[in-house]
Amino acid sequence: MTPAAPSAPPTRHEAADTVTVVGLGKIGLPLAVQFATAGFRVLGADINPTVVDQVNDGIEPFPGETDLARRLGEVVRTGRLTATTDTAGAVARSGTVVIVVPLVVDETAEPDFAIVDAATAQVAVGLQPGTLVSYETTLPVGTTRTRLVPALVTASGLIPGEDLFVVMSPERVYSGRIFADLSKYPKLVGGLDPESTRRGVAFYERALTFDDRSDLPRPNGVWAIGSTEAAELVKLAETTYRDVNIALANTFAVYADSLGIDFSLIAEAANSQPFSHLHSPGVNVGGHCIPVYPRLYLSGDPAARLVATAREVNDAMPEHVVELLAERLIRVGVPIRDARVVILGAAYRGGVKETFYSGAFALARHLADRGAVPLVHDPLFTDAELRAKGLEPYHLGDRCDAAIVQADHADYREIGPADLPGVRTIVDGRATTDPERWQDVDHTVLGRTRATGQGGNPS
């Protein structure tokens, strides 16, 4: 049975040492475990009773996060972490509330605040005087001050800067290595006012430890960066930079393909100069962050043409790869119509069982539009799970005509033609496969085609 948060009013000391983490997802749960490990009493709040029950049993709801299972078991056994569906009740017993629920975009690419607004409303009901509220959810610039704080104030009656303190402190971690990233990267804190910033910095200095890094302009640790707007912008800037850089790499790779030039050599040479930081091209940009956060940026700065164009470039890559596959199939005498094409990888990236904005969906759609039969293989997903996502499963050893590498799973480094009987051509959109295993099959890596063109050499 899912426990409710205790109803007895906390003492001032108890509240100061108690943290509620709202949202026990892939970021929120490791954060809750980290805070509990640092000595806080942590209440994890989530609307999903199954997740709450699993956490209270010491079971990680989403396997794959390094060291989470062990650390979760420890803090649950010692009573440092308990979970509940009663968000307001948990908040009422806490001196600090950390909100890390998802913000997504809708079908028009506009921010959909439904989940954040709902979490904020529940938090507001339980707020007590003196509470620190930290938003770790990535937000459009101005959202904390103009949307969320007014909602907190209206429902609680508290006064910002006097008995309510609010900071924006965006999460900056990567699924699969969250605990390492919490120590590696500075924790950024921007407050609604100076006192909020001071309290936010004090909380995170107690909650986190940091690696020594000589490459930073100041010591690694908690960095105060002025305001909630500054904290919102820095997260959008660092993720949008990646999207724009990937779009640039994709542009160069497509052009290099047309010339018969190996773009990987170009990038390696260009990056030998310290002012060049070209990223790697890829068949798709997926996940909860990079495809979404530029849209959040554009919601505040719609005139940012570079950001919008980069999104268009990256969104177009699956179709480009299907076109490339069709060209390669023609070279080996196989029409794409009715061809059985295996998409290797449903996950948006290797080693992560998550399909959010995965390129597998766009690839399957474009292949079907060309009359091909799209099939999907992924070692992390069962047939039932793939079918539930609208994807037709493929099993290694079954006949196929062609393949596209969509996710850089480690398994695909070892894959060869024997695993894909009948395969005539493969397009590797992640530079994952071993060319030595594919010498007898038409093998193409995005940005490294075998085509002969002006300025290039056949391979």
Q: How far is CA 202 from CA 100, 184, 187, 225, 301, in A?
A: 19, 18, 11, 14, 32
With vertex at residue 150, the alpha carbon angle to CA 147 and CA 151, rounded to the nearest 5 degrees, is 85
Indicate if the pLDDT at residue 455 is higher than 50. no
pLDDT value at residue 288: 85
Residue 10: pLDDT over 70: no
Percent of the chain with pLDDT over 90: 89
CATH architecture entry for 236-459? 3-Layer(aba) Sandwich (3.40)
Q: What would the mean pLDDT of 243-261 be, rounded to a whole number? A: 95
Element (H, E) at 22: strand 18-22
pLDDT for res 414: 95
User: pLDDT at position 3, please?
Assistant: 52
SS3 108: coil
Question: In this predicted model, what pLDDT tens digit does every residue of 211-241 receive, in sequence order?
Answer: 999 999 999 999 999 999 999 999 999 999 9
The confidence band for 453, taking pLDDT boundaries of 50, 70 and 90, is very low
- pLDDT of 1 higher than 50: no
Give the model's confidence band at 15: pLDDT under 50 very low, under 70 low, under 90 confident, else very high. Answer: confident
List the chain domain ranges: 12-226, 236-459
**Percent of the chain whose pLDDT exceeds 70:** 95
Cα 100 from Cα 182, distance rounded (Å): 15
In this chain, the answer to whether the domains covering 12-226 and 236-459 adopt an identical fold is yes
Per-residue pLDDT tens for 278-336?
Answer: 999 999 999 888 999 999 999 999 999 999 999 999 999 999 999 999 999 999 999 99
d(CA 360, CA 178): 25
| pLDDT at 11 (0 to 100) | 56
Structure tokens belonging to residue 222:
């908690």
pLDDT for res 25: 94
> 3-state DSSP call for residue 180?
helix
Q: What is the assigned CATH class of domain 12-226?
A: alpha beta
Joined together, the tokens standing for residue 23 give 């949202």
Output the pLDDT for position 287.
87
pLDDT tens-digit readout, 49-95: 999 999 999 999 988 899 999 999 999 999 999 999 999 999 999 99
Tens of pLDDT along 157-215?
999 999 999 999 999 998 889 999 999 999 999 999 999 999 999 999 999 999 999 99
What is the overall mean pLDDT for the chain?
Answer: 93
pLDDT attached to residue 9: 56
Q: List, for residues 106-143, the tens digit of each pLDDT value.
A: 888 899 999 999 999 999 999 999 999 999 999 999 99
Averaged pLDDT for residues 417-421: 97
DSSP E strands in 174-262: the ranges are: 187-191, 222-224
Residue 450 pLDDT greater than 90, yes or no: no
Residue pLDDT, tens place only, 31-54: 999 999 999 999 999 999 999 999
